[in-house]
Amino acid sequence: MSNEFLDSLENLDALNVSDFIKFSQRGIEKENLRSSKCSISLKAHPKAYGSSLTNSRITTDFSEALIELVTDPNKDLNKCLKELEDIVYFCLKNTDEDFWPASIPMSIEDEATIPIADYGNTNSGKLKKLYRVGLSHRYGSMMQTVSGIHYNFSFDDQLFENWAKKDGETLREFKDKKYLSLVRNFRRNAWLITYLFGCSPIVPKAFAKGREHSLKELNSNDLFLENATCLRMGELGYISKSQDNLNIAYNNLEEYLADLKKALTTDHPRYKTLGTKVGDEYIQLNTAIIQIENEYYSSIRPKRLVGSGERPINALRDNGIEYVEIRALDNNIYDPFGISDETAIFLESFLFYCLLSEDQPCDADEINKIQNNWGNVVLFGRDEDLKLQFKEGSIPLRDKAAEILDEMTNFESRIGDQEYRNIFKKSLESQRHKISDSNMTPSGKLLREITASGLSWDEYTDQIAKNHKEEILRLKKDVGYLEKQAKKSLEEFALKEAQEEDDFDSFLGEYLSAIE
């Protein structure tokens, strides 16, 4: 057990802020495809959900069919999860469709049929749609139909303030430094999250059609890898070869922002050849490596809330890091809401572990090791003989995973709330079982059960979608507040549409040139 980890934890003990559940805030974003009879929905975003442009809780991601459900930030984990359940319930109650429960989509034979999300005729709505049109030209629409859970998390300033004083730093400097340390350590060990919670070892053949891959045939409809954990993050999933050479190290905020600015302002040869227009019609925002900040693909990103029209890169430069966004979680196909309290509390404790653990700046060699470890666990994570590469050498995945969980046991006695302490203890036990027996991981269970069922990916997942909907609608929740918000968002959208604006060309030019 590292001295730095224990020293940091004892420092927080002395400051009475070592209960990570008490001194933190979280918010959850959950994505699902709307579906009907094993097919992607071709219907417009339901009016009952409000406006996808102005409803902060119910919006869309890449596709009009790819719904995104967003909780408010909350200091109480249970309340955050309850809000997510409310939103899912409200949405399913107001549709005759299902929510596809898996991160990998159903069979979609022609990606041209995937409807790109539409946000109306305001300049901000056109910008959001054009960004997605650009994604379709850059990566294809099929890749953009994968879904997942994004987990936004921050520690209270109270945790940082006295810690910063003890180290003789300002709060802003200390927070930026510590959040980036967390990010580096998370990236070093994100393979553990992929192993424990990855739930996408199978894809339908249509998902891989026309693309190079190393997958094997599971049945006449589907492909798989026997030890895969998270194909969503693999060669066919949410990755970008055009970003492979960015090598963003997260060593300090200034360096991170400089790397990000380079990606935002450097032309990519293929995107430059595409151009920004075909005739008079825009096909992408620009020809840079990434069109906007959100296009940078990473398992974790430092973030800050932004104002209307504000560029995220400028907000980070001006005001520092406010929270981190975790993008490594698959939807758990077996959980009606995609994520459980055990998963959430483990992820939060893992982030606390990353905050406190020994950390050094990343160099190019370590970045390469991080990427290789991630890729190997994505494709071969349940191989009992898999070894990972670290600065200290080659270590079996199971040994390194057990070492991390051993250190995390120190958090149990620091959790003041008995309910959360019990959930944490139960979760840690569950993760230990997964480490000792890979068949107990979500990916192992999914592969085993779908094989035993004799069903195709589409049939099996559609059956689960229907079962989840029935189970959720039996809850009879009071969600009047969501109905009011949906109606209010439609009114706000109508007001926006009625306002006079500059022409879109001028608006786009100002937005793209606003990087400081």
Q: Given a cut of 70, is residue 99 above it in pLDDT?
A: yes
Question: Both tokens of residue 479?
Answer: 């969600």
- Residue 488's pLDDT is 99
How far apart, in Å, are the Cα atoms of 496 and each of 45, 55, 56, 62, 359? 18, 13, 15, 22, 47
E strand or H helix at 83, and its extent?
A: helix 77-93
Is the separation of the CB atoms in 462 and 107 below 8 Å? no
| Nearest CA among 333, 341, 336 for reference residue 450 | 333
Q: Given a cut of 70, is residue 241 above it in pLDDT?
A: no
- Residue 162's pLDDT is 85
User: How far, rounded to the nearest angstrom, does the alpha carbon of residue 347 sit from its chain's CA centroid?
Assistant: 12
Average pLDDT (106-129) is 98
- Residue 2's pLDDT is 64
Q: Is 277 helix (H, G, I), strand (E, B) or coil?
A: strand
- Residue 238's pLDDT is 65
| HSE-up (13 A, CA, CB side) for residue 361 | 10
| Nearest CA among 378, 28, 347, 372 for reference residue 198 | 378
Q: Alpha-carbon distance 372 to 368, whole Å?
A: 6
pLDDT digits (tens, 9 = 90+) for 146-155: 999 999 999 9
Q: Given a cut of 80, is residue 410 above it in pLDDT?
A: yes
Domain ranges of the chain: 3-512
Average pLDDT (283-299) is 96
The third-level CATH classification (topology) of the domain covering 3-512 is Creatine Kinase; Chain A, domain 2 (3.30.590)
Handedness of CA 464, 470, 473, 476 (dihedral sign): negative
More confident residue, 367 or 324: 324
Q: Alpha-carbon distance 40 to 146, whole Å?
A: 12
Average pLDDT (279-305) is 96
Q: Chain-wide mean pLDDT for the chain?
A: 96
Average pLDDT (53-64) is 99
Q: Given a cut of 80, is residue 1 above it in pLDDT?
A: no
| HSE-up (13 A, CA, CB side) for residue 473 | 15
Q: Alpha-carbon distance 34 to 63, whole Å?
A: 10
Global pTM reads 0.97
DSSP per residue over 360-407, as a string?
Answer: ----HHHHHHHHHHHHHHHHHTT-TT-EEEETTEEEEHHHHHHHHHHH
Least confident of 228-242, 284-298, 334-348: 228-242
How far apart, in Å, are the Cα atoms of 91 and each of 57, 86, 87, 120, 162? 11, 9, 6, 21, 43
pLDDT digits (tens, 9 = 90+) for 439-449: 999 999 999 99
Q: Given a cut of 60, is residue 161 above it in pLDDT?
A: yes
Q: Alpha-carbon distance 105 to 38, whole Å?
A: 10
**268 phi, psi to nearest 5 deg:** -100, 130
Average pLDDT (300-322) is 95
Average pLDDT (244-257) is 87
Specify the length of the chain in residues. Answer: 516
Q: Alpha-carbon distance 341 to 301, whole Å?
A: 23
Q: Alpha-carbon distance 104 to 146, whole Å?
A: 5
More confident residue, 433 or 238: 433
Q: Given a cut of 80, is residue 355 above it in pLDDT?
A: yes
- Residue 493's pLDDT is 98
